[in-house]
Amino acid sequence: MTLLPNIHGVCPPRFAAVKDAFAANFTDAPEGLNEQAARFSVCVGGETVVDLWAGWADAARTVPYGARTLTPVFSTGKAVMALLIATCVERGLLDYERPVASYWPAFGQAGKAVITVGQMMSHQAGLPGFSETVDPAIWFDREAVLERLCAQAPMWPPGTASGYHPITIGFLAGELFRLVDGRSMGAALREDFAAPFGLDLWIGLPEAEHGRVAALRKPASAPDLGTIDAIKTSAFLDKGSAPGGRGSTEWRTMEMPSANLHGTALDLARIMGVLANGGALEGRTVLSPGVRAEMLRERIHGRDKVVPFDVSWAAGLMRNEGLHIFGPNPTAVGHCGWGGSCAFADADAGVSGAYVMTRQSPYLVGDPRAQRLIGALYGGL
């Protein structure tokens, strides 16, 4: 048994089971994944109803994990990336059904001319990684990454299957956003969401904020990818499939919308409220009903070529049909991140939420700690 740290935040009596589940993740977590620090936040109808945090922000357990502690959430940030692309559709700058190459001609090389924005965002473009081994330092050179991806042929016929793009989708979506909007995704997140709504979310974290970042404990084992082939190797296992060689400071500072968002669980839950509450955030319309519907509709459903699951993909989000990890309602959507974090939105229940933690697990989706919390949450709704 692990000693239970002090639990902070808010949790009304109707959600007492959530607090119990949160505590249990520190003392008797499934698979022995006892927390070092974690936060679970939930909004209903745009109002915060649960916001719990506990633990230590540093490995030495001397700095308490607090309300302003930032946590790297890796691929959970893809939910924010998808929302930023949807805002371009809302403004008429993008159309999910038009080819990416109509906005970005260089992308149309090597058999990619007809790949649509919706297909790219739903991981159907066939570019989950580099087809040739690269130095992991390439990820710190945006232009070099984009040049390679534009010249590269798809690894399967685009539109015929999904194959999760762990990192490349952030460069692809980020460049498409920059071309039509004129700003980087990190700048747009700050200007359009963080500043006006007080959201502590960052794609590209200024060095002055690095002292607020919690230390992570890496998984004890690698994730189960199923049968390994060239596609999965390019996405996850090649020596150049993930950034390396520059250190955590440069990694945090660069903008990688698919992998290096830093933030709080509360503000992830708040921004996901756009999708849970009819496209509005704190009374301001972000997405119209039509654009929201286009963003969230199923683009493809089947066995993914990279992650070993049957996935129903929306335009940048996992749909709950098939996976059943974001509560009981099939129309819920969300995304998971390396190590166990997740963010989700359920319009049927008007619920949005997020879970972040510092002790990482090998689960690609559906970390049992998050599942325990989400299950308890729906029991109180």
Q: In this predicted model, what pLDDT tens digit does every residue of 43-55 receive, in sequence order?
A: 999 999 999 999 9
Per-residue confidence (pLDDT) for residue 250, from 0 to 100: 95
E strands, the chain, where? 7-10, 37-44, 47-55, 71-72, 201-203, 261-263, 280-281, 284-285, 300-303, 310-313, 318-319, 333-336, 342-346, 351-357
Per-residue confidence (pLDDT) for residue 2, from 0 to 100: 64
Residue of 146, 184, 197, 198 lying closest to 167 (CA atoms): 146
Q: DSSP string of 256-324?
A: -TTT-EEE-HHHHHHHHHHHHTTTEETTEESS-HHHHHHHHS-SEEEE-SSSSSEEEE-SSSEEHHHH-
Residue 156 has pLDDT above 90, yes or no: yes
- State mean pLDDT over 332-352: 98
Cβ 285 vs Cβ 279: under 8 Å: yes
Q: In this predicted model, what pLDDT tens digit does every residue of 97-152 receive, in sequence order?
A: 999 999 999 999 999 999 999 999 999 999 999 999 999 999 999 999 999 999 99
- State mean pLDDT over 206-224: 95
Residues 362, 368, 371, 372, CA torsion sign: negative
Active site annotation includes 75: yes
Residue 340 has pLDDT above 60, yes or no: yes
Q: Which residues pair with 239 in a beta bridge?
A: none
Residue 1 has pLDDT above 80, yes or no: no
- Six-digit token pair at 313? 């993909």
Per-residue confidence (pLDDT) for residue 99, from 0 to 100: 98
Residues 119, 85: Cα–Cα separation, whole Å: 13
Share of the chain above pLDDT 90, in %: 94
How sure is the predictor about 183, in pLDDT bands with cuts at 50, 70 and 90?
very high
- State mean pLDDT over 293-315: 98
- State mean pLDDT over 56-63: 94
* Reported pTM: 0.97
Cβ 105 vs Cβ 134: under 8 Å: no
Residue 181 half-sphere exposure toward CB, CA atoms < 13 A? 24
Q: In this predicted model, what pLDDT tens digit does every residue of 244-263 receive, in sequence order?
A: 878 789 999 999 999 999 99
How sure is the predictor about 32, in pLDDT bands with cuts at 50, 70 and 90?
confident
Q: What is the mean pLDDT of the chain?
A: 96
Per-residue confidence (pLDDT) for residue 145, from 0 to 100: 98
- Given the residues 75, 234, 341, 361, select the one marked as catalytic: 75
Identity of residue 324: H
Q: What CA–CA distances, in Å, run from 111 to 124, 125, 128, 156?
A: 13, 10, 15, 11
Residue 308 has pLDDT above 90, yes or no: yes
